Amino acid sequence: MTREDRGMTYREQKESRAERLRGWAGNRVEKAEAVIGHNRIYTGDIAFNTQPGHIPLRARVIAQNDRAFESIRKAEGMASRARGIEGQLAESIYSDDPDAVERLTEKLGRLIAEREAIKTENAAFRKANREQLKGMTAWERDNAMPHRAYVGQNLTGVITNTRQRLEGLQRQTAAREAVVETETQVGDIVVRTTAARVEVEFPGKPSAEIRTALKGRGFRWDPVKVCWYGRDEAFAIEVAKEA
């Protein structure tokens, strides 16, 4: 972890890592292309490249271009690692994500719906093919089903793990949010700071400009507590003053 990563959420650390990798890759490509471009006057010269014997300048140009192309290959590897991190970020839910509870709740709902769909399809298949299935062994019946038994079993395991993780986060969040450290009243707007987050409670729906500003600083809408929440208290108070 770099010094800049301290105080960041795990997602922010991963995003920072991907950004650094892309930056390093970009710098490598830029420098390598500059070398290749500078040497093009030689590499495009047929006489220079076909002249027999050892020519020190030609040897230096070849070595420089070799290093440049190797640097570009390393840059491609860095860019690939950055894409891998960004792919993980798109699919993963980290415990310190501000919206982890909401996203886990949505994920749990999707998983349960998927399991119910599997059960429904298998039940309909058994009903439609009752006579054929009777003469099969258990293994043959399982293989004949639209969804084999292990699919539902694996899905049940994922559901159990997701539910346990969600319940644990809900307990942690409830414990942290129970303690209000500060509360600032700015006109009709309340800015409330807890150990977990900063909440901005508007008397009504804020303007599109205010909502855009909040989203730009990482604030999200909490439909349960009917407030916007994020991490930057100073920004929240400033927004409340401007609203």
Query: d(Cα 32, Cα 79) in Å, to the nearest integer?
Result: 15
Query: d(Cα 100, Cα 112) in Å, to the nearest integer?
Result: 18
Low-confidence ranges of the chain (pLDDT < 70): 1-7, 175-180, 224
pLDDT recorded at residue 3: 47
Please name which of 171, 156, 57 lies closest in space to residue 115, comparing C-alpha atoms. Answer: 156
pLDDT recorded at residue 65: 94
Read off the tokens for 135: 């003469």
Q: Give the chain as a 3 state SS string.
A: CCHHHCCCCHHHHHHHHHHHHHHHHHHHHHHHHHHHHHCHHHHCCHHHHHCCCCCHHHHHHHHHHHHHHHHHHHHHHHHHHHHHHHHHHHHCCCCCCCCHHHHHHHHHHHHHHHHHHHHHHHHHHHHHCHHHHHCCCHHHHHHHCCCCHHHHHHHHHHHHHHHHHHHHHHHHHHHHHCCEEEEEEECCEEEEEECCCEEEECCCCCCHHHHHHHHHCCCEEECCCCEEEECCHHHHHHHHHHC
pLDDT recorded at residue 150: 94
Read off the tokens for 232: 């930057």
Domain ranges of the chain: 3-91, 100-176, 179-242
Cα 69 from chain centre: 31
| Cβ atoms within 10 Å, residue 58 | 16
pTM above 0.75, yes or no: no
